[in-house]
Amino acid sequence: MISVSDEQFSQIIGEAMDELPQERISGLKNVAIVYEDEPSQEQRQKLKLRNSQTLYGLYEGIPLTKRPAADSIMGGGPMYLPDKITIFKLPIAAASNSLPELKEHVKHTVWHEIAHYYGLDHDQIHNLE
């Protein structure tokens, strides 16, 4: 396990986003990307996670593929709360033995959750990887 401060972890998330394809990053609209130490009890219950299961990241929102085509803030279509991507610091740190490994885990997790925003399921994400 590696230890990083909250400030370092936030910076690592920013660096990961800078390294991802910018057309995917620039396509994010009304999405908050945050980090927490661990998933909340509510998130764990919603996902039906057992105590032995961990989670590196979570996308909460309505994927683009599930939204009406005319959806826009100015177009009078339905308005949604911001989507939220949460990256979980402690599970990623526990799975990492070095700073480069932690950075790679964060980058992979950020990409994975952004892919959910675009409507990809786990099989589609794994096929792209």
Q: pLDDT per residue over 42-83, tens digit each?
A: 999 999 999 889 999 999 998 988 877 654 555 555 566 789
Quick one: pLDDT band at residue 5, thresholds 50, 70, 90?
very high
Strand extents, DSSP E, the chain? 31-36, 57-60, 83-88
From the centroid of its chain, how far is CA 5? 19
Please, are residues 88 and 38 in contact by the beta-carbon 8 Å criterion?
yes
pLDDT computed for residue 16 by the predictor: 96
φ, ψ for residue 108, nearest 5 deg: -65, -40
Q: b/e for 91-106, b at 16 or more Cβ within 10 A?
A: bbbeebeeeeebbebb
φ, ψ for residue 37, nearest 5 deg: -65, -50
Domains of the chain, first to last: 6-69+79-128 (3.30.2010.20)
pLDDT computed for residue 21 by the predictor: 86
Q: Compute how many other C-beta atoms are within 10 angstroms of the C-beta atom of residue 49.
A: 14
Higher pLDDT, 64 or 115: 115
